[in-house]
């Protein structure tokens, strides 16, 4: 799916930590996922990072195909 729909999915599910996880190029280990998941526990905390994610720099990569396996 394109990054646009990835963002939409993140906003709808308030799973900003997942997108940050993806852009941090961190290893997809359970430890890292748990650590980041615990960092953003409330919807308010998560929504605070949306401007950071939806920046023009990242929006220019909308055409990329994201598999979530890098």
User: How is the chain split into domains, by residue range?
Assistant: 3-59
Stated pTM of the model: 0.17
pLDDT of residue 46: 60
Digitized pLDDT (tens) for each residue of the chain, 70 residues in all: 455 555 555 555 555 555 555 555 545 555 555 555 555 555 556 666 666 655 555 555 544 545 554 4
In whole angstroms, give the CA distance from residue 41 to residue 54. 20
pLDDT of residue 26: 47
Cα 12 to Cα 8, 43, 55: the distances in Å are 6, 11, 18
In whole angstroms, give the CA distance from residue 12 to residue 33. 19
pLDDT of residue 20: 55
CA atoms within 13 A on the CB side of 18: 15
């Amino acid at each position: 799916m394109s990054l646009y729909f990835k963002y939409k999915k993140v906003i709808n599910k308030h799973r900003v930590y997942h997108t940050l996880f993806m852009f941090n190029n961190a290893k997809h280990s359970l430890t890292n996922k748990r650590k980041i998941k615990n960092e953003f526990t409330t919807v308010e905390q998560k929504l605070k990072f949306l401007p950071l994610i939806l920046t023009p720099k990242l929006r220019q990569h909308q055409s990329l195909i994201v598999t979530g396996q890098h």
